[in-house]
Structure 1
Amino acid sequence: MSRRPRIAVTTSRQSGWRIFPLVALNLWLAGGRAVRWGAGRPADLGAVDGLIIGGGDDISPDLYGGQIVTSARLDPARDALERGLVEAALACGIPVLGICRGAQMINVALGGTLHQDAYGTYTASDRIWTILPKKRVRVCKGTRLAEVTGTEPMRVNALHSQAVDRLGTDVIVAARDRGGMVQAIERAHDPFALGVQWHPEHLFYARRQRAIFAALVTAARARRYNRGQLAAVDAEMAEPARP
């Protein structure tokens, strides 16, 4: 049996100890193996097959020319680490999955911006703060996320205050909530890059959420063997996962 793809997972100093095991479990179920990275820890992209930028504190507006809000919790060291990792990973063909803050970081690293007060901008969006799947999102047809999860509306969790504003280079919207707020983004060409605003690691009991991690592991395995990542994901996900 081939070696499991090794996936780096960035975490925060505060919550990484409890979040990393959940992400590692999801990756193991998908056929991968997780290694934890963070500010102050070794981070060698040459030693991994894929990258997950995990959730946590808000991203500093200094990275994209925005205005800070007083309620923001910031981690400049983590910002610098993760932005550099996303840029370098995509430059050398390493697939990336962004979770909540991670989705926002993918967009920022590719030149996009964020809404600092997402719910102040999208007043029709349901303001939910829970790890339980109580928020409804619509997956956009024709996207890779739709290939992975299907297009039926999903119930997801929500623990964010920021959201994607102006899209970065080659970034497209893959899901929105009923108020129009961006809930997922992706790139339409290799290497694989997908960002989801929710936390699928908490929803490991849901087949469609596990499929998100499976897509990353498939892309990581394809990269190891110098194969097309998106083509590999499309082939693996030919039968969309059902709720």
Structure 2
Amino acid sequence: MTARRPVIGVTVSRRSGWRIFPLIALNVWLAGGRALRWQAGRAADIESVDGLIIGGGDDISPDLYGGRLVKSARLDPDRDALERGLVLAAFAHDKPVLGICRGSQMLNIALGGTLHQDAYETYAASDHIRTVLPRKTVRITAGTRLAQLAGTQPMKVNALHTQAVNRLGDGLRIAARDSAGMIQAVERVKEPFALGVQWHPEHLFYAHRQMGIFRALIAAAAARRDHAAQLPGVDAVAR
């Protein structure tokens, strides 16, 4: 009998989820999983899934981390509350998390970190390229799990964000930066598996290195479903 596909809860914006969710769901399916759409105002139960993806979207309110509000910020407090609660519930239930763009920032905040509210004001030398095409270069930190999954050669990614991780949350380490030093990926150093990337790998499903990110999540979710350690399963995908 074929094992069932791990089920992944995916949070999206009420405003743009109709176009974002199908693309993330495609990546999850190609990696061996099955996605459920979650958004503010709908039921979302972490116990009903094997893993969690926090998708991209609007800026996160500085109320969550004591930051300052910038005029250009577009906020969704209901989504903030939903996603922060889901990340904490995922860790409480030992379930893996992938954060995409905003999701990477929410992963950091839920673990007690902070953000640069205007990342390009702080990192003026960073390439401010807003596109779904892979035109921004990031450098992956050697010795990290992301390096195992994607290698340490410079990686071309897309970029749509205005915020970025500042002070790291508890149990996280930096997994990638851009050429100006802005943090582009963070990862958890112990169980359960958690990875946050500042870019949008769901738009780059044709790239083997990007699909490795989704395969890692599905491997971790399958291990959690089977009550096994997650990190060895992720490491096996990376080989």
Give me the TM-score of the superposition, normalised by structure 2.
0.99
> For 1:33-60, what per-residue CA distance to the aligned partner results, in whole angstroms no more than 9, with x for missing partners?
0000000111011110000000000000
Q: Which runs of 5+ in 2 are unaligned?
A: none
Does residue 11 (structure 1) correspond to residue 12 (structure 2)? The answer is yes
Q: Which runs of 4+ in 1 moved over 3 A?
A: none
Deviations 1:138-187 (A, max 9, x none): 00000010111111110000000000000000110000000000000001
Q: In the alignment, what sits opposite 1:73?
A: 74
Output one character per residue of 1:170-210: Cα deviation in whole Å (capped at 9) or x when no partner. Answer: 11000000000000000110000000000000001111111
Percent of aligned pairs sharing the same letter: 70
Amino acid at match of 1:49: D
SS class of match (1:42)? coil
Equivalent residues in 2 for 1:68-147, closer than 5 Å: 68-147=69-148
- Secondary structure of 2:168's counterpart equals coil
Residue 236 of structure 1 and its aligned partner are, at CA, apart by 2.0
Q: Distance in 2 between the 1:111 and 1:46 partners?
A: 23
Stretch moving more, 155-164 or 222-231: 222-231
**SS at 1:124 equivalent:** coil
Shift of 1:226: 1.2
Report the Cα distance in structure 2 between the residues aligned to 1:167 and 1:11, rounded to whole angstroms. Answer: 24
Q: 1:4 & 1:118 partners in 2: Cα distance?
A: 38
Q: 1:61 corresponds to which residue? A: 62
SS in 2 for 1:236: helix
- What is the DSSP-based 3-state SS (H/G/I as helix, E as strand, rest coil) of the residue aligned with 2:173? strand
TM norm structure 1: 0.97
Instruction: Determine the structure 1 residue equivalent to 2:26.
Output: 25
Deviates more, 1:226-235 or 1:23-32: 226-235
Residue type of the partner of 2:22? Answer: P
State the partner residue of 1:211.
212
Aligned length, in residue pairs: 238
Residue type of the alignment partner of 1:138: R
Q: Cα distance, 1:14 vs. partner? A: 1.3
Secondary structure at the aligned position of 1:70 is classed as: coil
Runs of 5+ unmatched residues, structure 1: 239-243
Separation in 1, partners of 2:88, 2:64:
13
